[in-house]
Chains A and B, each alone.
Chain A
Amino acid sequence: MWGRRRRGFGPSGSGAEELRARRREREAALRKARRQEQLVSKRLLREDTAAEEGGQDGAEIVPDPLSEDEVLELLRGVQRASEDRKRSLSRLRWALQNKETQQKFVRLDGSIRTLIGLFTSSLADMQMEAARCLHELSHSSDPAVAEACLPVTSYLLTYLSGHSVEFTELCLYTLGNLVVESEAVRKQLLPQGIIPVLASCIQSPHEAVLEGLGYVLSQLLQAKEAPTEIIPHTANAALLSLGALPALTSLLLDLASEIPQDAPEGLELLVCPVLRCLSNLLAEETDCEVQIQDERLLVALFLILQCFLQQHPFIVQECLWLLNNLTADKPFFCSTLLGLDLLPALLQLLPCSQMASVLVLTVLCNIAEKGPAYCQQLHQQPALPLLLPTLTLPNPEVVGQCLELLHLLFLHWPEAAADFVRQGGHRALEQHQSTPELQERARALLDMVGQPLGASTFSPCHATLSAFS
C-alpha cells in the first residue's frame, strides 16, 4: 500500500523491546483519545532523506526550531529568483518539519502567498517542492497553522484533476490533513466543490490516487458535523438502493477466498470496514425487505474468523456483530449455520473475550428463538457442556445472556432442561440468587427445571410448571 514511501520511522538499530514499548504507549494514548472522541490521525508523506536526517538509530529526527530571523531569511530566499531558490525551498521544507518553525513561518507576512505562487508556477520541481512544504504545514496539530492554509484549498482542489500522480497524491493527503484539523477548512471546502472533484478522482486508474481519495473522504466523514452537514440523512437508504449490499457481500467473499493460511499483514485493515458497512446496512430500517440470502457469506465470515483469531482478535467481535445482524430476523442464516456445521466453531469463540462471549450467546439466542427444531440441534451439538462453565463466570452481562439462552432452550426443547439438571447445572444457577441483575431469571429457570428454591417464594401456579420436566 505504501510501497513507495517510508512508513513511519521505525528504529533500525534499537531492540524489539523498545519498539514494543513505544507501541504500547501509542496504543494507550489512542485508547484514551478515542474515549474522549478525539481520535484523529494524520498521514505524512515524506521523502527518504536519510542522508539529511542523519539519524543513526533511525528514530524520528526533527530539525530544531529556527529563529524568526532564520525563517525570514529562508522566505526571502524563496521569493528571490536566483540560483539558490530551489535550495532555499528544500531547506524550508526540511525546516518545516519542526512545529515551532511552522508556526513562525505562517505568521510571516506573505509567506503562504509565496508558497502558493510557487505551488502554482510552471516550474515542475519548484511546484512539487512547494507542495511538500504545504504538506508539512498540513500535518501540524496547531489549528492556527491549518487555518493559515485556507487560501490554498482552491488550488489543491484544482490540481486534483491533473495528471501527475505523485502530485495529485500529495495534494490529496494535504487536503485530508487540513480537513481533519480545522472546521473552517471544511466549511470552505464544501462550497469550493470538493465532492464533485473527489467523485471524478474515483475515475483514476492509479492506486495511489484512489488511496489518497479514500483518506480525504474518511477524514471528511469523521468530522463532528458530518452527520448533519456532510452526510445526507437518507444516505443508507440511498446506498441500499444502489446495490451496496450485494457489492459488499461480493467484496467480502473475494477477500475470504484470497486468504491464504498466513494472511499478509494489513489485510485485516481492509476486512474490518467491509464488516462494519455490511453490518450497519443490514441494521437499516427500510420499508422494503433487504435481504442477502447467500450461504457463502457465512462461509466467508467463518474463514475470516479462523484467519484472524490469533493475530487480530478484534476481528472476532466485529464478525460476531455481523453474525447477529444476519441471524436476528429471518431464519435463513440460522438454519444455514446449523446446516453447514458451523456451530462447533461458533461455540469455540465463547471464551475469546467478554464482548465475544456476549455476542456468541446473543447469536445462539437468535438461533434458539427460531423454535424447537433449532433448539434441538443446539442441544444435540451438544451446547450445554460449553454453556455450563459460562454460568460460573463473574461477569453478570455474560451470565445474563446465558440465562436468556437457557430459557429459550428449555422453553422449546424440554429435554435440554432435563439434561441440564443431570449435569448439575442447577447448582450453578443457585449461586446467582443474590446477584441483583440475575436472581429473578435464575430463579425462574430453576423453577422451569423443577428445582425451585423454595415453594413459598412462588405462587402456586408457578409450581405447576414443574410438570414440564
Chain B
Amino acid sequence: MLPLPPGLRRRLGEGPPPPTPAPPPFAPPAPAPPLFAPSLLPPLPPPFTFAPRRLRLGPHHPLFEDGDVHRHLYLQGVLTSLAEVAERPKVSEFSCHISGCCQVFDTLEGYEHHYNTLHRNVCSFCKRSFPSGHLLDIHILEWHDSLFQIMAEKQNMYKCLVEGCAEKFKSSKDRKDHLVTVHLYPADFRFDRPKKVKSGPKHVSSPTKQGSSMPMDVSVEMSEQFQVDPMEIGPSEHTEIPRPAASPSSSVPEKRLYKSRIPSTICFGQGATRGFKGPRKKV
C-alpha cells in the first residue's frame, strides 16, 4: 500500500483548480556565494549530464513490454479462468411480424439479425431493403426520383457507392469502372448491378437448380431474373403475394416476377411504411 495522504480522493471531486498555478514552496535565503568567482575556475567538463526532458517512447520500447504482454494474454482469453458460457435461450417458434414476411425464428438473436438486415433501410417506394442507409439513399435517387434521368443527361449524377468518396459519374458503367479501378472493388460487386431497362426474366425455371456446379447464390439468381435493384440485398420478403417458396432456401415467390411492371404510383394495401419510417434512424 502506498502511504498516500488522507483525503486525497476528495480532491478529485472538486472542480477544476483556479487558473493560477500553485506557488513554489517557500524559498529560504540563498546559500553563501562560492569563495571563488566562477571565472577563476577552469572550465571542467562536469561528469553529471542530467537534464530533465520529456520522453517520447515508440511502440517497441521495453517499458511497454509487461503491459503489452498482459494485454495480449487478455486478447488470447487466458485471463479468465472460467469460460463464460453464452446461453442462447431457445423460445417457442414465432414469426416475423412484418406483413408479408414469412420467416420463423426460435431465438431472439436470430430474429434481431433478420429484422435489422431485411426490414431496415427499406425503400418506402418499392419496399426493397439495402445493407446500408447510404445505398438506400442512392437507390431512391436513381430509381424513384423522377428528375434523376433528366438531370443525368446534363451532369454527372451517379454517385460513387463508397462512403466518403464524393465522385459522381455520368453513367452507371462509369461509376462501376471507378469502383473497380480506384476503390479496388470486385467487378461483380453484388450491390452494383446495372438497372436493366427491360423487365422480364432471363429464364423462367425455378431459381433453385439442383446439383448445379455454379455456386447457388440466391441474390445473383434473383437479380438476374427479376430486375432487382442492383443495390438491394436480395428480393425483399416484403411482398404482397406470399406463396410457399419454391424451395426452403428461397423465400421469394415466383410471382414476384410481375411486380416490377407495376407502376410505382400504385400503392398496394400494405404499401405504407407502417411505422418504421426513416430506416436510417438509430435505435
Contacts and interface: CB of A to CB of B under 8 A. Distances in A.
B9 A303 contact: yes
Contact of B17 (A123, A294, A321): A294
B113 A167 contact: yes
A154 B186 contact: yes
Nearest to A193: B162
Contact of A158 (B68, B71, B88, B131): B131
Contacts of A385: none
Interface in A349-406: 349, 355, 365-366, 369-374, 376-377, 401, 403-405
A85 B249 contact: yes
Given A117-B218, A121-B218, A369-B50, A48 B87 contact: yes
Judged by DSSP, the binding face of B is loop
B269 interface: no
A374 B50 contact: no
Contacts of A366: 52
B2 A305 contact: yes
A312 B71 CA distance: 11
A285 B119 CA distance: 51
Contact of B85 (A6, A193, A195): A6
Contact of A279 (B36, B57, B78, B82): B57
Contacts of B57: 279-280, 321
B93 interface: no
Nearest to B41: A461
Interface residues of B, number: 128
A378 B186 CA distance: 67
Interface string B80-99: 11111111100000000000
Contacts of B182: 191
Interface stretch (A141-149, A237-245, A264-272, A419-427): A264-272
A103 interface: no
Contacts of B72: 30, 39, 41
A162 B117 contact: yes
B46 to A, nearest CB: 7
Interface in B1-56: 1-5, 8-9, 11-14, 16-17, 19, 21-28, 30-31, 34-36, 40-42, 44, 46-56
A260 B186 CA distance: 52
Contacts of A464: 35-36
B47 A440 contact: yes
Given A30-B73, A124-B110, A309-B2, A340 B34 contact: no
Contacts of B132: 158-159, 161-162
B190 interface: yes
Given A41-B72, A314-B66, A328-B54, A161 B215 contact: no
B50 A404 contact: yes
Contacts of A124: 103, 110, 113-114, 117-118
B12 A256 contact: yes
A376 B116 contact: no
Interface in B122-168: 129, 131-135, 162-165
A10 interface: yes
A181 interface: no
B203 interface: no
A344 B14 CA distance: 23
A428 interface: no
A117 B219 contact: yes
A280 B234 contact: no
A107 interface: no
Contact of B217 (A10, A117, A332, A369): A117
B109 interface: yes
Given A81-B250, A117-B220, A335-B24, A10 B190 contact: no
Given A122-B219, A283-B54, A303-B9, A317 B84 contact: no
Given A117-B215, A158-B135, A283-B54, A321 B63 contact: yes
Contact of B25 (A2, A123, A335): A335
B275 interface: no
B134 A161 contact: yes
A79 B247 CA distance: 13
Interface string B188-225: 01110000000000000001111110111111101000
A161 B132 CA distance: 5
B233 interface: yes
Of A124, A162, A167, A341, the most chain B CB neighbours within 10 A belong to: A124
Nearest to B208: A81
Contact of B22 (A122, A193, A336): A336
Contacts of A128: 110, 113
A305 to B, nearest CB: 6
A318 B52 contact: no
A82 B154 CA distance: 49
B172 interface: no
B17 A293 contact: yes
A72 to B, nearest CB: 12
A91 interface: no
Contact of A113 (B85, B134, B215): B215
A77 B108 CA distance: 27
23 contacts: A8-B83, A10-B81, A79-B212, A82-B248, A124-B117, A162-B116, A192-B183, A192-B184, A193-B162, A193-B163, A195-B164, A200-B163, A204-B282, A296-B11, A296-B17, A306-B2, A309-B1, A321-B55, A335-B22, A338-B25, A349-B2, A440-B47, A468-B34
Given A114-B217, A401-B50, 6 more contacts: A114-B215, A117-B218, A204-B282, A280-B57, A321-B55, A465-B34
